[in-house]
Amino acid sequence: MSREGQPAFSAPVNVEDVERIAAARLPRAALDYYRSGAGEEYTLRNNREAFRRLRIRPRVLRDVSIRDLSTVALGKRVAVPFGIAPTAMHCMAHPDGEVASARAAEKIGAVFILSTLSTRSLEEVAEAAPKATKWFQLYIYKNRNITEDLVRRAERLGYKALVLTVDAPLFGIRWADARNKFHLPPHLKLANFTGPAEADGVRERTTKGSQLQAYVTDLFDQTLTWDALTWLKSITKLPIILKGILTKEDVEEAINHNVAGVMVSNHGARQVDGFPATIEALPEIVKAVCGRCEVFMDGGVTQGTDVFKALALGAKMVFIGRPVLWGLAYDGEEGAKTVLEIIRHEFDFTLALTGCSSIAGIEKEMVVPASFYSLL
């Protein structure tokens, strides 16, 4: 028994349990980097709270004895309608880092997106999880040769898509990172690079504030316009997904450039405090896309019911970021797999208890705002 007279904590049963364990194990600077958002973190909280403001309208007396959780994304069938979002520097959570995360995704049958700012390389991840469906998240550097090299390597190694982040000409103001003077620990590097400015540059770059913010300010191309997408399409045949879309106006630009998909994302609420929660923005984007490309979403997804709600509102697939990092800190590859298994289990039960035997059975009318039930 614990000191409070409650049963001692054992194996985690939900993502919140895993996060609690991770918070107790991670060094303070790494924990703050992973969990923080921009400004007062209203948008960070709202990413979660907006899901809670949605209600599920279940159907009954339907045969749900056999359930199929699979979906098709970019023409490839995958086992579950969720994947691992691109998040930086997994090795701060566990030495195996992105290799462990990719292996966990492979075992579950989930899509894995590797970040440009990863602490294990494109090559290491491809070798470790050869059967996983892998996409590569891309930033465009001022030195376009660096970006082109990343694209060529991703193609050669069998990554199936490029996820171009379009909401980060700069990184947002994150107070925790500024207080901690966040930097990459000395035993780690950004593994996709050989040049010291790119590989080791997230430390000793400035005398105050976040070293990562200084890195991005120095190296990322802030002059980018839609012409950059034209350039990117000229050097690759991989399908391109634009990550960071929050408005219907940008959807039209994306469609005009023939992208394969858009990802509704507010960068984990880490850019501007006051952006909408991604689940709030999703219906506008789905309506604007009108079936012309695929729609994905990340931000605030921690439960199987969140997956269900996002799919009902029109997402093809959702992506999970911080929970996977908590899983790594909890138990490496097994911990990351535990998180994915928890969400799969919850989603499976949600399907059954709403009368759906597959994703095709999820109807838009099954998810409504809480105000739908207001008594007037």
Which residues are marked as active site? 267
CB 83 within 8 A of CB 319: yes
In Å, how far are 223, 313, 319, 347 from 48, measured between CA atoms?
A: 33, 16, 14, 17
Q: For residue 308, which phi and psi values (nearest 5 degrees)?
A: -60, -45
Q: SS3 letters for the chain?
A: CCCCCCCCCCCCCCHHHHHHHHHHHCCHHHHHHHHCCCCCCHHHHHHHHHHHCEEECCCCCCCCCCCECCEEECCEEECCCEEECCCCCHHHCCCCHHHHHHHHHHHHCCEEEECCCCCCCHHHHHHHCCCCCEEEEECCECCHHHHHHHHHHHHHCCCCCEEEECCCCCCCCCHHHHHHCCCCCCCCCCCCCCCHHHHCCCCCCCCCCCHHHHHHHHHECCCCCCHHHHHHHHHCCCCEEEEEECCHHHHHHHHHCCCCEEEECCHHHCCCCCCCCHHHHHHHHHHHHCCCCEEEEECCCCCHHHHHHHHHCCCCEEEECHHHHHHHHHHHHHHHHHHHHHHHHHHHHHHHHCCCCEHHHCCHHHEEEHHHHCCC
274 token code pair: 């006051």
311 token code pair: 């799919």
- β-pair partners for 367: 56
